[in-house]
Amino acid sequence: MNQNKLKRGVPMRRSKLEMYIDILKVLAHKGPLKLTHIMYKANVNCSVLKEYLDFLIQQGLVEEKTIGKKRIVYAITQRGLTVLKYFRELKIMLPTLEEELAKIPPTLY
């Protein structure tokens, strides 16, 4: 069931950030890829994927390439790889941050 966590037996939706990261991961591990291949590997519907790819391209994290006369593929950029690296590091640190926040009374943050 993808990486979605279950909350009371119901799969939780991925946030935009999680979907961006999933797309970047797919391109980092399997890319460059055509739109349909990204769609299946990242589990994102086509219209949403186009919107998210446009955003990632605008941010310089993904680039669109034309192979041959017509074939369009998408590839992660060096900047995209850097973002993935920092995201992984942040994810490693988050459990520690969550534990520290749990010690602080909610009224203080």
CATH number, residue 104: 1.10.10.10
The verdict on residue 64 lying in a domain is yes
CA 109 to CA 106: how far, in whole Å?
A: 6
Count of domains forming the chain: 1
The verdict on residue 104 lying in a domain is yes
Inter-CA distances, 91 with 18, 31, 62, 86, Å: 12, 23, 21, 9
Q: Identify the domain containing residue 68 by its residue range.
A: 6-108
What pTM value is reported for the model?
0.75
Q: Which helix (H) or strand (E) holds 71?
A: strand 71-76
- Whether the ω angle into residue 95 lies within 30 degrees of 0, i.e. cis, is no
Q: What is the full per-residue pLDDT of the chain (109 aa) written as tens digits?
A: 444 444 455 456 778 888 999 999 999 999 899 999 999 999 999 999 999 999 999 999 999 999 888 889 999 999 999 999 999 888 887 766 666 666 666 665 5
The verdict on residue 87 lying in a domain is yes
Q: Which residue has the tokens 């640190």?
A: 93
Residue 2's pLDDT is 45
